[in-house]
Chains A and B, each alone.
Chain A
Amino acid sequence: MKTTKDTTTAGNGGGDVRLTGISKTYGAFTAVHPLDLTVPEGSFFALLGASGCGKTTTLRMIAGLEEPTSGTVRLGDQDVTALPPYKRPVNTVFQSYALFPHLDIFENVAFGLRRRGIKSVRKQVEEMLDLVQLGEQARKKPHQLSGGQQQRVAVARALINHPRVLLLDEPLGALDLKLRRQMQLELKRIQTEVGITFVHVTHDQEEAMTMADTVAVMNAGRVEQLGSPTDLYENPRTTFVANFLGTSNLIEAEVDSKSGDEIVLKAGGGKLVLPGARTSAPTATGGKVLVGVRPEKISLTHADDAGEIPEGRNRITGRIVDSSFIGVSTQFVVDSPACSDFEVYVQNIDRDTRLVPGTEVVLHWNPAHTFGLDAAQSPLAGTVGSAGVETVEEEVAR
């Protein structure tokens, strides 16, 4: 049987997934623009983006459930673009798990093995069920299990086939927050244990950052930026990435002068320093740049104590508009001439009780934490509905 051969030769071809110029259009709508992407073997790779950004379509093209309009899909050295899903050494964990309701857990997990003509499945299935801690539930039907257990069955059912790549389509979307956290760690543990390449699709930036080695942020059918979670968070190259991954304060500024590696900018009547290495935008004198800084990098000082702020820090004056206490930190919204809703997260170590709405304050941060973005983009990209429910794309995918 061909499928058996494909899977057993997994060792020599490598598990790299290489997408070359892959795209998908539905009539006039382009779900995925021509895209090149390489997922290295054994890595935990996340495709992150909002609803309808094309991430699920990309995943489905790797699985073979969607035929690309152009481009090729390669697994290691093998071009699988023309192979139907049942001949690809790839398995998927579906968003709604798609467990077979008429089969018990054991048979669900054994399904792939049986289809490949393997007769004695008992030992393998039992081992797999133990790996996902469901040994006791083998003879139950899927609907008798909780959401978290069903999710683990879906993972076991895919993993038992030792695919070269495991595709996960929003696998944790249906779980509540606490269970989702637990499953994130669980999946990470399983991935480390089996060493299979995981490609994970999610709209949850925290999930992507917790689990993945590499994250590709997708927006409107394109990969906006690709990198490690830290790299994406610290050095976003577009406003979409800056806003979609966490929160960024973006200030429109004008380039005033350059001195060595430092760029001095004018914003809201003040001066800000931006390290030249931390901007991808053109920085001709007089040109516009979007200056960004993460809310947790900023310190907040009462205007009366402004003199205590050390020299050399970027500073902006403003007035507190809103504050919310959330335990580990307090989140402030500050109105300043440079930016009307500046977000600042202050850790609750020594709380300054004077910092209530209406107070005049000085925001200041280490210039090294400043990043620059091309001002031609909308500073609001990626802010609205970023954590929305996966609906638009699903409709299209059908």
Chain B
Amino acid sequence: MTTVTEAPPLAPAPERKPPRRRGRWTPYLLLLPGLLWLVVFFALPVIYQASTSVQTGSLEEGYEVTWHFATYWDALSAYWPQFIRSVLYAASATVLCLLLGYPLAYLIAFRAGRWRNLIMILVIAPFFTSFLIRTLAWKTILADGGPVVGALDALHVLDVTNLLGWTAGDRVLATPLAVVCGLTYNFLPFMILPLYTSLERIDPRLHEAANDLYARPSTTFRRVTFPLSMPGVVSGTLLTFIPATGDYINADLLGSTDTRMVGNVIQTQFLRILDYPTAAALSFLLMAAILFMVTFYIRKSGTEDLV
């Protein structure tokens, strides 16, 4: 090429300013619908509940804000066992989800080949039916004298779980084990999907490089694959643990009065006893507890350091 094309003027001409000024508002405009949604359906209810939690009164005479913070203390001292139980059940379900989900996500990401999409569909398939129906199905699966319980009994698994206090007698239904199984089942996809996404992003060449640098497959997993999948592990555990802590359907349908979680207490207070301040206070306590645990967890796992 012999001709030299004239370079476009790089300096911003003054007449260019108006379009830029107009564009300045675009991000805010785009943000508006979501922001409005959050204000109406999240911020306002939160404020409303916060005010409810410090009200006193009765259903007949009406409630009034009296800054009665003692409700929090009363709720906590009355229902702390349910709080502890919720955290324990949710944590157990999260660990189980991780143990079940990680190998599956690994398989889908690295080994499934052309079966990948089919397995993914199978993972998501439960979402096509309602949460309630699925949990009710587990009631049948774990029914007394049913094949699952029979098999567990025959294999003496129930003897072990009885000893640990997870089951009682020859029943699985209405025991902690049933609730944890239900939670695990219902939240498993929330564990698998983020795990899969972060595993799938790992360049297979990194495995080859580790292999090439004298790392046997087990070392490669420990030193390369697992550390690189940490973002998936963290988001998967959060997506499982947070909703599982507040869940009440599994404890309601698969558990008994001895397996009540904090979600069940809140539900009862709100809908049956109609003690709104206590229910609201419990909700806030739960929110605070989860926030605290999650912050601690994220700090500990150091995910912000990962790419």
> A residues engaging B (CB < 8 A)?
3, 63-65, 84-87, 90-92, 94-96, 98-102, 111-112, 115-116, 141, 143, 157-158, 161, 398
Once A86-B216, A101-B307, A143-B307 are accepted as A-B contacts, the answer to whether A398 and B204 lie under 8 Å apart by CB is: yes
| Cβ contacts A to B, 16 pairs, < 8 Å | A63-B212, A65-B208, A84-B216, A86-B214, A86-B215, A99-B209, A100-B224, A102-B224, A102-B306, A111-B213, A111-B215, A111-B223, A112-B214, A115-B214, A115-B219, A116-B214
**Number of inter-chain CB pairs below 8 Å:** 68
Q: Which residue of A is nearest B216, CB measured?
A: A86
Cα distance A161–B227 in the bound complex, in angstroms: 23
Q: Are A65 and B211 in contact (CB under 8 A)?
A: yes
Is the Cβ of B228 less than 8 Å from the Cβ of A94? no
Interface of B is mostly: helix
Least CB distance, B210 to chain A, in whole angstroms:
7
Nearest CB in chain A: distance from B206 CB, A: 5
Residues of chain B having any CB pair with chain A under 8 Å = 203-206, 208-216, 219, 223-224, 227-228, 306-307
Alpha-carbon separation in the docked complex, A101 to B203 (Å) = 10
**Known interface pairs A102-B227, A141-B307. Does A86 touch B212 (Cβ–Cβ under 8 Å)?**
yes
In the complex the two chains form, what is the Cα distance from A164 to B216 in whole Å?
Answer: 19
A143 to chain B: closest residue by CB: B307
With a CB–CB cut-off of 8 A, which chain B residues contact A3? 214
What chain A residues lie within 8 Å of B216 (beta carbons)? 84, 86
Residues of B within 8 A of A143 (CB): 307
Tell me if B307 and A96 are in contact (CB < 8 A).
no
The answer to whether B213 and A161 have CB atoms under 8 Å apart is yes
Q: Which residues does chain A contribute within 8 Å of B208, judged by CB atoms?
A: 65, 85, 92, 94, 98
Interchain residue pairs A-B with the least CB separation, the first 7: A98-B209, A112-B213, A115-B214, A98-B205, A85-B211, A101-B307, A92-B212
Smallest beta-carbon distance B72→chain A, Å = 42
Q: When chains A and B are docked, how far (Å) is the Cα of A204 from the Cα of B228?
A: 34
Distance between Cα atoms of A84 and B219 in the complex (Å):
14
How far does the Cβ of A324 sit from chain B's closest Cβ, in whole Å?
A: 10
Contact A100 B206 (CB under 8 A): yes
CA distance A161 to B210 in the complex (A): 13
What is the minimal beta-carbon distance from B217 to any residue of chain A, in angstroms? 8
Tell me whether A94 and B215 are in contact (CB under 8 A): no
A111-B213, A112-B213, A115-B219 are contacts. A94–B205 as well, Cβ < 8 Å?
yes
Which B residues touch A98, using CB under 8 A?
Answer: 203, 205-206, 208-209
Question: Is there contact, CB below 8 Å, between B211 and A86?
Answer: yes
Instruction: Indicate the member of A64, A111, A143 with the most B CB atoms within 10 Å.
Output: A111
Measured between alpha carbons, how far is A95 from B208 in the docked complex, in Å? 12
- How distant is the Cα of A87 from the Cα of B214 in the complex, in angstroms? 6
Chain A residues within 8 Å of B213, by CB: 86, 91, 111-112, 115, 157-158, 161
Q: Do B209 and A84 touch (CB < 8 A)?
A: no
Assess whether B215 is in contact with A96, with CB atoms less than 8 Å apart: no
Instruction: Give the nearest-CB partner of A1 in chain B.
Output: B214
Q: Known: A98-B206, A102-B228, A143-B307. Is A91-B212 also a contact (CB below 8 A)? A: yes
Q: A100-B206, A112-B213 are in contact. List 4 more A-B contacts (CB 8 A).
A: A86-B213, A115-B215, A116-B214, A141-B307
Chain B residues whose C-beta falls within 8 Å of the C-beta of A64 in the assembled complex: 211-212
CA distance A398 to B213 in the complex (A): 19
The answer to whether B215 touches A100 (Cβ under 8 A) is no
Q: Which residue of chain A has the shortest Cβ distance to B203 in the bound complex?
A: A98
A101 and B225 CA atoms in complex are apart in Å by 11
Q: When the two chains form their complex, are residues A111 and B205 in contact, meaning their CB atoms are under 8 A apart?
A: no
Nearest Cβ distance between residue A233 and chain B, in whole angstroms?
Answer: 30
A63 proximity list for chain B (CB < 8 A): 212
Q: Are B307 and A65 in contact (CB under 8 A)?
A: no
Give Cα A86–Cα B217 distance, bound, in whole angstroms.
Answer: 9
Question: How far apart are the CA atoms of A90 and B212 in the complex, in Å?
Answer: 7
Tell me the complex Cα distance, A130–B206, Å: 24
Nearest CB in chain B: distance from A88 CB, A: 8
Which B-chain residue is minimally distant from A167 (CB atoms)?
A: B212
B62 CB, min distance to chain A CBs, angstroms: 58
Question: Which residues of B lie under 8 Å from residue A84 when comparing CB positions?
Answer: 211, 216
A89 nearest CB across to chain B (Å):
9
Report A-chain residues with C-beta under 8 Å of the C-beta of B306: 102
- B203, B211, B212, B306: residue with the most chain A Cβ atoms closer than 10 Å: B212
* Nearest CB in chain B to that of A142: its residue: B307
Residue among A84, A115, A143 with the highest chain B CB neighbour number at 10 A? A115
